[in-house]
């Protein structure tokens, strides 16, 4: 197969079968020692996003005040419990994603959306910089109507800001959060283990103003 098949999502009957066994991951976060898997602290909330290669975005989130724990994995495809090589083949439909659990009393969801929008270029389709493939697409996967409303409103606001700066149309997919599959242990908190490892994050330099989202926030 050539490169083109990796730039489109696989159709019915094209995806790999996967497996029933879950990927084993460390019980504790390498950076802060928090739990990597549920149950998470009472009152905490979750954000799930795709921003290209997941190593850099995970670091960005664990460095954000109010974030309790993070993990990288795969979501929004069809193959159950995929391996990294399978995701890279373009035949799972999955995206490389970051899951961040946060304390909403310390950091709000819309503040994390600002981290998301400013941390990558959401206009690039099935790529991010030099990384090409469906697993590098931009995505927000929402938990509940409040998150969905905020994600959609933020996309509209950021689109206007990008257009003023000369950028094209946002290609970010926004959909209900699908099942999250943990990535292999060596991917978790990778840039803390390999400080000078590859990081493909490269935002547009355009600020995301989240102030207009305040009216959508409900108690």
- What is the predicted pLDDT for the residue at 219? 44
- Confirm if 56 and 201 have CB atoms less than 8 A apart: yes
Q: Residue 112: in which H helix or E strand, if any?
A: helix 109-118
Residue from 115, 219, 125 nearest 172 by CA: 125
pLDDT tens-place values along the chain, 219 residues long: 456 778 999 998 999 999 999 999 999 999 999 999 999 999 999 999 999 999 999 999 999 999 999 999 999 999 999 999 999 999 999 999 999 999 999 999 999 999 999 999 999 999 999 999 999 999 999 999 999 999 999 999 999 999 999 999 999 999 999 999 999 999 999 999 999 999 988 999 999 999 989 888 754
- What is the predicted pLDDT for the residue at 218? 54
- Out of 53, 88, 199, 208, pick the active-site residue: 53
- What is the predicted pLDDT for the residue at 2? 56
Q: How does 112-150 read in b/e, with b if 16+ C-beta sit within 10 Å? A: bbbbbbbbbbbebebbbeeebbbbbbbbbbbeeeebbeb
Does pTM surpass 0.95? yes
C-beta atoms surrounding 70 within 10 Å? 28
> Catalytic annotation on 53?
yes
- What is the predicted pLDDT for the residue at 195? 94
């Amino acid at each position: 197969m050539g490169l083109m098949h990796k730039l489109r999502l696989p159709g019915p009957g094209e995806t790999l079968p996967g497996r029933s066994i879950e990927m084993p991951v460390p019980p504790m976060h390498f950076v802060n020692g928090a739990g990597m898997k549920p149950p998470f602290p009472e009152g905490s909330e979750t954000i799930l996003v795709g921003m290209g290669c997941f190593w850099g975005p995970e670091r960005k989130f664990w460095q954000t005040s109010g974030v309790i724990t993070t993990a990288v994995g795969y979501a929004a495809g069809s193959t159950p419990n995929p391996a990294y090589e399978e995701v890279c083949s373009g035949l799972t439909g999955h995206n490389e994603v970051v899951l961040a659990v946060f304390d909403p009393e310390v950091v709000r969801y819309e503040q994390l959306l600002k981290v998301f929008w400013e941390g990558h270029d959401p206009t690039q389709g099935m790529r991010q910089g030099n990384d090409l493939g469906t697993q590098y697409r931009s995505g927000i996967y929402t938990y509940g109507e409040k998150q969905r409303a905020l994600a959609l409103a933020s996309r509209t606001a950021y689109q206007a800001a990008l257009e003023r700066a000369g950028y094209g149309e946002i290609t970010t997919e926004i959909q209900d959060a699908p099942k999250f599959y943990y990535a292999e242990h060596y991917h978790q908190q990778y840039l803390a283990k390999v400080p000078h490892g590859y990081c493909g994050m490269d935002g547009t330099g355009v600020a995301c103003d989240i102030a207009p989202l305040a009216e959508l926030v409900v108690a």
